[in-house]
Structure 1
Amino acid sequence: MTVTNILLSGIVGSTAYGLAHEGSDVDRLGLFATPTEELHGLHRPSESHVSTAPDRTLHEAGKWCRLALAGNPTVMELVWLPDELYEVRTPLGDELVGLRQTLLGARRVRNAYLGYATQQFRKLHNRQDGPRTAALAQRTAKHARHLRRLCTQGYELYTTGRLTIRVEDPESYHRFGEQVAADPETAQPLLRRFEEAFAETRSALPDQPDDRAADAWLRRVRREFYATAQTASA
């Protein structure tokens, strides 16, 4: 799959978190700009491209902004990566990184991160009555690590307005995963603790994100790639 006009792309997932093990996939996430003229036709172009080997997800700039403004934890990683994990950076991509704090709203961050963490807990809970296999234990441990990471990173973002991608003490996440794989119910106290912490803590973020900055950035993207199309056809 060839996608042009990539504005920002980098390595995310377990490699970025410091939780990868031998044989782990290397996940990549990025965003691209559709040529502006193509947005005006009857049939809208695809807003996402997902591939394997390599594992890569690319969202169109407009879709990426909508997801980020909703507090989506996965897309949010892209603008908080350490410099060495970026593989594509453009001036427009760097502008977006500079706007990352305007994308944040307390309510949306809390709901998105706790919502994703709750999804992970439900996956753990639904598996506890099934047959125990090595493959199931691995999946359960992975979901448990994600649950803890989502709670921890979401709470950091909620309380400080910053997001640290690499987790502190990765081995403790692996130990937690093994404990939950043995007994999925042991994940519940952690989830409840963070639910209470979010409820009791005043956020450093405004209640809602300021979407004006993202809107202005996206309009600059549309102008840039409209001009490119016009130049190419001249």
Structure 2
Amino acid sequence: MVRVLLSGVVGSTAYGLARPGSDVDRLGVFAVATQELHGLRRPAESVVTTAPDQTFHEAAKWCRLALVCNPTAGELLWLPEDLYEERTPLGSELIGLRRSFLSAGAVRSAYLGYAGQQLRKLRTRDATLPETRARAAKHARHLVRLVEQAVGLHETGELRIRLAEPERIRELGERIADRPESAEPLLAEAEHRLDRPGVLPAAPDERPVEDWLRRVRLANLTPLAAA
């Protein structure tokens, strides 16, 4: 038995980059019945499907991902209100804790690390295959978005999901897809800005996260049948 605590539409729809025919990606957090965590076999920590495109993480796993500022997991707490599809009271509490997950080093490592991965994909793709061009542009858009989100988090403590200028991101992505080396100044500038003092703490605040997870476990503890 599982209970969805929070879910919403993420990805290109959330960023404002979706076009007709774009996939609709969903992300969520669920809790299993607490008793299931104490048997011989632990329940699955993630459920991923491709038709439709959905990723749901069990509450503890999602918290571990968010505490290292995983960009994909963390965006669930910063969605525009209209993109939440399921939001329980515990889910709303989790949104209220979103700044507790943030830390300067983790934001730098995770966001710039993911951006660097996108650049490596661009550099190693087989440019002779026409189907890789659209994929390259997608990687380039992710790179630009991740860099800008990292700087925004570092300097303001806020994660902007819906991009202010999606067409600019799209056009810049097209240029970087054609010339991957043109992303290097963008990454260098982001590293320079993240070297400056920012507003994020040195470490995440784990105590309220731990308290929330314990409330989740209590809420999903069902009475045992009499022996």
TM-score tier by shorter-chain length is: over 0.9
Corresponding letter in the other structure for 2:144: R
1:28 maps onto 2:21 in alignment: no
Instruction: State the Cα deviation string for residues 26-84 of structure 1 (Å, max 9, x = none).
Output: 00000000110000011111000001221100000000000000110111000000110
Q: What is the match of residue 54 of structure 1? A: 52
Of 5-14 and 37-46, the range deviating more from structure 2 = 37-46
Structure 2 counterpart of 1:124, from 119, 122, 125 = 122
| Deviation of the 1:203 alpha carbon | 1.5
State the distance in 2 between where 1:63 and 1:145 align: 27
State the distance in 2 between where 1:142 and 1:104 align: 26
State the distance in 1 between where 2:185 and 2:105 align: 22
Q: What is the match of residue 180 of structure 2? A: 184
Structure 2 counterpart of 1:135, from 131, 134, 140 = 131
State the distance in 2 between where 1:134 and 1:214 align: 46
Q: What is the match of residue 207 of structure 1? A: 202
| Deviation of the 1:4 alpha carbon | 3.2
Structure 2 counterpart of 1:39, from 15, 37, 40 = 37
Contact residue 127 and residue 133 of structure 2 kept, 8 A: no
Structure 1 counterpart of 2:214, from 216, 219, 225 = 219
State the distance in 1 between where 2:40 and 2:54 align: 28
| Deviation of the 1:181 alpha carbon | 2.1
Instruction: State the Cα deviation string for residues 88-121 of structure 1 (Å, max 9, x = none).
Output: 0000000000011111111111111111111111
Aligned identity (percent) is: 56
Q: What is the match of residue 98 of structure 1? A: 96
Provide the TM-score with structure 1 as the length reference.
0.93
Q: How many residues align?
A: 226
The alignment partner of 2:223 has SS state of: helix
| Cα 1:131–1:112 shift into 2, 3 Å | closer
Provide the TM-score with structure 2 as the length reference.
0.96
1:194 maps onto 2:190 in alignment: yes
The alignment partner of 1:230 has SS state of: coil
Corresponding letter in the other structure for 1:206: P
Of 165-174 and 58-67, the range deviating more from structure 2 = 165-174
1:4 maps onto 2:2 in alignment: yes
Q: How do 1:78-97 residues align onto structure 2 when only pairs under 5 Å count?
A: 78-97=76-95
CA RMSD after TM alignment: 1.3
Q: Which runs of 4+ in 1 moved over 4 A?
A: none
Corresponding letter in the other structure for 1:24: S
State the distance in 2 between where 1:182 and 1:224 align: 52
| Deviation of the 1:131 alpha carbon | 3.5
- Identify unmatched segments of 5+ residues in structure 2: none
1:230 maps onto 2:223 in alignment: yes
Q: What is the match of residue 160 of structure 2? A: 164
| Deviation of the 1:133 alpha carbon | 3.4
State the distance in 1 between where 2:192 and 2:155 align: 13
The alignment partner of 1:116 has SS state of: helix
State the distance in 1 between where 2:152 and 2:132 align: 30
